Amino acid sequence: MKTVKVLTAAMIALGLSTVTHAASVATSEKQAEAAVEYRQSLYQLVKSNASPMFGMAKGALPYDAAVMKTNATRLEQLADMMADYLLVDTTQFDVSTDALPALFTNEADVLAKIADFKQAASGIKAAAMSGDESRYKNAIGALGGSCKSCHDDYKD
pTM of the model as a whole: 0.83
| pLDDT for the residue numbered 9 | 43
Q: How confident is the model at residue 126 (pLDDT cuts 50, 70, 90)?
A: very high
pLDDT digits (tens, 9 = 90+) for 73-124: 999 999 999 999 999 999 999 999 999 999 999 999 999 999 999 999 999 9
pLDDT at 7 over 50: no
HEC secondary structure over the chain = CHHHHHHHHHHHHCCCCCCCCCCEECCCHHHHHHHHHHHHHHHHHHHHHHHHHHHHHHCCCCCCHHHHHHHHHHHHHHHHHHHHHHCEECCCCCCCCCECHHHHCCHHHHHHHHHHHHHHHHHHHHHHHHCCCHHHHHHHHHHHHHHHHHHHHHEC
Q: How confident is the model at residue 18 (pLDDT cuts 50, 70, 90)?
A: very low
Domains in the chain: boundaries? 2-154
pLDDT at 62 over 50: yes
Please provide the CATH number assigned to the domain covering 2-154: 1.20.120.10
Q: How confident is the model at residue 22 (pLDDT cuts 50, 70, 90)?
A: low
pLDDT at 15 over 90: no
